[in-house]
Structure 1
Amino acid sequence: MQPYDVVELKEALPEERLAAGVVGTIVHVFEAPRAAYEAEFADGDERTICTAALTSEQVGPVARSQR
């Protein structure tokens, strides 16, 4: 995954009040100590709800046909 990719949460993040399946955008990619991604999640008015650092086990790409 790369910056600006559209992604979907694979699991809920209750501490951030985000349900599994919520769609966000990658804003930063971390290479070390292991691959991780900072993703931004927004509401329907495009206001940021939160940003979260996530592993590939927690977030995955959304297929273009699902956007």
Structure 2
Amino acid sequence: MKFYSDVILLCDRPEERLYAGDIGTVVEQHHVEGLETGYNVEFFDPLGNIVAVATLPGSYLRFN
């Protein structure tokens, strides 16, 4: 996985106003021994405004 790669959200996160199919950009990766790798992802609207920045496990994302 490369930083600034596009990812697709695979499940809804309504508490963060994010929904399956939203496209985001990976800006950080987190490794904690014994846990799934996590990612900070920025999500944008069609005009390029940031909608949310979320920390998500890799299983919630499809990497292109």
Identical aligned residues as a percent: 32
Aligned to 1:7: 7
Answer yes or no: is the 8 Å Cα contact 1:2–1:29 preserved in 2: no
Residue 52 (structure 2) pairs with residue 57 (structure 1): no
Q: Structure 1 regions of 5+ residues with no counterpart?
A: 63-67
CA deviation after TM superposition for structure 1 residue 2, in Å? 2.5
Question: After the TM superposition, which residues 1-67 of structure 1 pair with which residues of structure 2 at under 5 Å, given as runs?
Answer: 1-33=1-33, 34=35, 35-62=37-64
What secondary structure is seen at the aligned counterpart in 1 of 2:58? coil
The whole-number CA distance in structure 2 between the counterparts of 1:60 and 1:47 is 22
**Count of residues in Structure 1 that have an aligned counterpart in Structure 2:** 62
The whole-number CA distance in structure 1 between the counterparts of 2:18 and 2:53 is 11
The whole-number CA distance in structure 2 between the counterparts of 1:17 and 1:24 is 13
- Structural RMSD (CA): 1.1
The farther-off stretch of 6-15 and 30-39 is 30-39
Q: Structure 2 regions of 5+ residues with no counterpart?
A: none
